[in-house]
């Protein structure tokens, strides 16, 4: 019986990780099979979706800031570094089974009612 419970949590961790590996696709898969998923994977689907939206916004900002000499060239790497750090934190939280929100943007994910 304990073996089955452990397998379930491993599956949940895998699906939670998938939400960061392929944020939009992973989140859609988890939310489409919501009745079969636990709270961990659904929570990380929301967090991964917010991270994907943030990446899209960062790409738009990149297109704007790339034309601003010096200031844009300084801000762009900082934005990308911040997004990579958020992604790594999400991966660590999902694989360790923690339901911690991502810094700065995580509170937006908790507002989704999927």
- Non-local (6+) Cβ contacts of 106 within 8 A are 47, 50, 100
**8 falls in which pLDDT band (50, 70, 90)?**
low
Predicted confidence (pLDDT) at residue 5 exceeds the cutoff of 70: no
The model's pTM = 0.84
Domain chopping of the chain, boundaries: 2-107
Q: Count other Cβ atoms within 10 Å, centred on residue 17.
A: 20
Angle at 91 between CA 88 and CA 95, to 5 degrees: 145
Which of 10, 30, 36 minimizes the C-alpha distance to 109?
Answer: 30
Angle at 32 between CA 26 and CA 36, to 5 degrees: 100
């Amino acid at each position: 019986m304990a073996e089955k419970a452990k397998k379930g949590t491993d599956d949940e961790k895998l699906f939670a990780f998938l939400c960061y590996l392929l944020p939009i696709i992973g989140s859609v898969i988890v939310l489409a099979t919501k009745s079969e998923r636990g709270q961990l994977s659904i929570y990380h689907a929301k967090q991964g979706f917010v991270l994907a939206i943030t990446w899209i916004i960062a790409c738009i900002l990149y297109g704007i800031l790339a034309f601003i000499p010096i200031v844009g060239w300084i801000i762009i790497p900082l934005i990308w570094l911040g997004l990579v750090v958020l992604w790594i934190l999400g991966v660590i939280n999902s694989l360790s089974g923690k339901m911690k929100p991502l810094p700065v943007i995580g509170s937006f994910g908790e507002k989704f009612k999927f």
